[in-house]
Amino acid sequence: MLRPLYCCLLRLHPSGFRTRFADEMLSIFDHAAGRAAAFRLLLDGFLSLARQWTLRPEFWHELSSAPQTASDGIPSFYTIDPFRPRAGAVIHGLVLSAAVFCLTCFAIKYSWIRVLHVRIPEVQFDSPRSIQSNAGREASEKAPVPPHSVGKQSIAIPSASVSAVKAPRYDLPASIAAQNSFVQSPTTGTPESQVSSGTQPAVEVAGQPRRGLLRAPVKPRDSQPSPLLSRSVSHQPQAQQMKPQNATSEDSPSAKLDAAQRQRVIEGAIAKVKVHYAYPDVAQKMADALLAYMNSGDDDSVTDGEAFADVLTKQMRDVSHDAHLIVVYSRDTIPAHSAGATREILAPYQKKLEQNNCYFEKVTILPHNIGYLKLNSFPDPSICQPTAKAAMASLNHADAIIFDLRDNTGGYPGMVTLIAAYLFDHPEYLYNPRDNTTQQSWTRSPVPGNRLADKPVYVLTSASTFSGAEQFSYDLKMLRRATLVGETTRGEAHAGSWHQIDDHFGIGIPDTRPINPFSTADWEGTGVEPDVKVNAATALDTAEKLAEKKLQKK
């Protein structure tokens, strides 16, 4: 029993001493008769160990090596420990490290990340600003989030109250927006305060832009724009319609722009674009183009604010070919940031959600125990989380689940993540083209008590499936978690954030380039292709049949 201990002691000695004397010392130990002698030797071993390590640094290495000097007098290098492992040990080590490597890969692949509490670093392209804005966003998320993006057809300018709070990244159903009065600025209470810019404002406060949804006008893809499309897209005519009203009703000091004002706006726009645009080289080209136009006098004829904004927008888009860049003019002075109106804005939206059961239009179990959820929006999770949880709970025992998003016009990515969480048994990354990766990008799977993680999922889409609903469809399709049945979706993916230039001008700049883990392109302009292409009207029947077939196979 003492011999292994003595062996260990010898092994702990410095390598030079060990290689030279360990065997002999062991042979002496073997000669020792009696326990007392063995204990004495053990004690001696301890003392020797301490002595060798503390008092004999010169013998830590191989004894024979009187420092070798190279021919030119500079000491040559010699290895610290000439000990070479056996070939067998090397092979063992190789096999063991390969096994550990495979195990680690396996763990990463199956996302034991949550279990291991490994924090995935956030992907940041332009770190200082993104971090700031993320920090700002996180802070503001604690407060109830007002539904900025409601105004699909006419979105509020960054008025005091609207700008005070964080904007959601998706749009709410047009139906709410159409009836909603809260898009009007509560401070002025006038509908005229709206500029149909398609811009979702989140005003820059103290040099820190709050990120919001910028709904840049989408060019209609088909010749017959749906009512929704026409509402959401055709901001130009509305803006012009509004002009006379405003002109008569308002004293607008900057209605006529002079050269100095124009120059100030252009310089402001250039500064914002250079700082915030996701592609610095393109930003530089745009800046050059704007200056060239200004210097050549092309802008001189434009004295109307809105027209000037349009001219600048066009000049920038000509260079960048980015339809999400937009300069916006507001006849009203864009107020500085002021807090406090959050509740007022939120109240009508909240009421609306309550009246509509948070747009969970239908939750039922179809024949063959197929769960069916018709969801017409992805509403604010801070309000509708209980509803969503209840809906998913009522479908918990279904053998398959059909999400009907044919009339879904988008909403909050938080709700997309919340619902998708039920479909996975491990945290899954959901790509959102409007936002850099955050913790919210990961589903909080597994959901306790949930049984849907391995059930077949069908998503019904139509040509009006929009925005956040497209994110839901796209991510589930890319993750091969759902079968999409129906029509190609609308194709609304990108957004930018709002930056204020001066009292009347603002600019929407796409400033994020999150990495799409699935493909180089997302669904912007093209829509999400369904797996099974059928007319939207027959999508439910088709999906039911597919689900039945799948369940029968089991």
Partner 1 sequence: MKDDVTSFLPLSPAALHILLSLAADDLHGYAIMQEVARQSQGKYKLGPGTLYDNLQRLIQRQWVQELGRRPAGDDPRRRYYSLTSLGRGVLAAETARLAGVVREARLRLQMAKPRRA
Q: Which region, judged by CB under 8 A, interacts with partner 1, from 39-47, 227-235, 352-360, 364-372? A: 39-47
Q: Which stretch binds partner 1 (CB under 8 A): 42-50, 73-81, 323-331, 342-350?
A: 42-50
Name the minimum Å distance from CB 36 to partner 1.
13
Q: Residue 61 or 235: which CB sits closer to partner 1?
A: 61
Evaluate whether 432 touches 411 at the Cβ level (below 8 Å). Answer: no
Structure tokens at 139: 């802070």
Q: Determine, following the binding rule CB under 8 A, whether residue 25 of this chain makes contact with partner 1.
A: yes
**Of these, 5, 47, 105, 115, which contacts partner 1 (CB under 8 A)?**
47
Question: By CB under 8 A, which span of 38-46, 98-106, 210-218, 475-483 interacts with partner 1?
Answer: 38-46
Closest CA to 413 of 451, 449, 387, 439: 439
Report the distance separating Cα 275 and Cα 271, nearest Å. Answer: 6
Q: Could you give the CA distance from residue 139 to residue 149 in angstroms, rounded to a whole number?
A: 20
- Listed in sequence order, the residues at least 6 apart from 293 whose beta carbon sits closer than 8 Å to its beta carbon are 299, 315
| Contact status: 497 vs partner 1 (CB under 8 A) | no
For partner 1, the binding residue among 2, 8, 12, 28 (CB under 8 A) is 28
Q: Tell me: does residue 56 bind partner 1 (CB under 8 A).
A: yes
With beta carbons less than 8 A apart as the criterion, state whether 402 and 373 touch.
yes
Centre a 10 Å sphere on the Cβ of residue 532 and count the other Cβ atoms it contains: 13
What minimum distance in Å lies between the beta carbon of 34 and partner 1?
A: 15
Q: Counting contacts by CB under 8 A, is residue 24 touching partner 1?
A: yes
Options 51, 114, 397, 549; binder of partner 1; rule CB under 8 A: 51
C-beta closer to partner 1: residue 48 or 315: 48
Report if residue 52 touches partner 1, rule: CB under 8 A: yes
Shortest gap between Cβ of 80 and partner 1 (angstroms)? 18
* In the complex, minimum distance from the CB of residue 108 to partner 1, in angstroms, rounded to a whole number: 49
Considering only the stretches 41-49, 111-119, 263-271, 396-404, report the one whose residues sit in contact with partner 1 under the rule CB under 8 A.
Answer: 41-49
Q: Does 317 bind partner 1 (CB under 8 A)?
A: no
- Among residues 7, 15, 53, 59, which is the contact residue for partner 1, using CB under 8 A? 59
Q: Decide if residue 63 touches partner 1 (CB under 8 A).
A: yes
Stretch binding partner 1 (CB under 8 A), from 28-36, 155-163, 380-388, 468-476: 28-36
How many CA within 13 A on the CB side of residue 426? 12
Query: Exposed, middle or buried, 351 (CB in 10 Å: 0-12/13-18/19+)?
Result: exposed
Q: Is the CB of 56 or the CB of 285 nearer to partner 1?
A: 56
Residue 448: how many other CB atoms lie within 10 Å: 4
Nearer to partner 1, 37 or 259 (CB): 37
* Backbone phi and psi for residue 325, each to the nearest 5 degrees, phi listed first: -85, 130
State phi, psi for 500 to the nearest 5 degrees: -90, 135
Q: For residue 212, which of 137, 316, 268, 321 has the smallest C-alpha distance?
A: 137
Does residue 38 bind partner 1 (CB under 8 A)?
A: no
Is 138 in a helix, a strand, or coil?
Answer: helix
- Tell me which of 3, 11, 35, 40 binds partner 1, using CB under 8 A: 40
Instruction: Check residue 57 and report its DSSP letter.
Output: G
Q: What is the DSSP code string of 304-361?
A: BHHHHHHHHHHHHHHHH--TT-EEEE-SS--PPP--S-HHHHHHHHHHHHHHTGGGEE
Residues that bind partner 1 (CB under 8 A): 16-17, 20-21, 23-29, 31, 40-41, 43-45, 47-49, 51-52, 56, 59, 63, 66
